[in-house]
Amino acid sequence: MDKYGNVYFSDSMSAPVISPTERSYDSHGALPGSEMPQLPFQSAGVSIDPSGEPTVTHKVLDKDYVFTGETVKRSWNGSQFVVTK
């Protein structure tokens, strides 16, 4: 769990996350049944720095789900993960 209360279920292939909301939790489409299963949590990993700040590193896949060699890092902006520049 990070300092924002996000809970991760990371393994070698994905990093599903659920986040607390005012009324419940949001899975950000990361759990089974997602409309867009590959973005951004499939083929991803999560790291949490000593201050509790999370970073999701997503491996970019092509249309055939083959790793392109590119990665995208995403950080938490208070309500969702956004691409880190």
Structure confidence by residue, pLDDT tens digits, 48-75? 999 999 998 888 888 887 889 999 998 9
Is residue 79 assigned to a domain? yes
Number of domains in the chain: 1
Is residue 19 assigned to a domain? yes
CA distance 31 to 50: 26
53 or 26: whose pLDDT is higher?
A: 53
Q: Which among 70, 4, 78 has a CA at the least distance from the CA of 40?
A: 70
Query: What pTM does this model have?
Result: 0.71
Is residue 1 assigned to a domain? no
Is residue 2 assigned to a domain? no
Structural domain that includes position 41: 7-83
pLDDT recorded at residue 48: 93
29 or 79: whose pLDDT is higher?
A: 79
Is residue 66 assigned to a domain? yes
With contact defined as beta carbons under 8 Å apart, do 2 and 51 qualify?
no
Is residue 23 assigned to a domain? yes
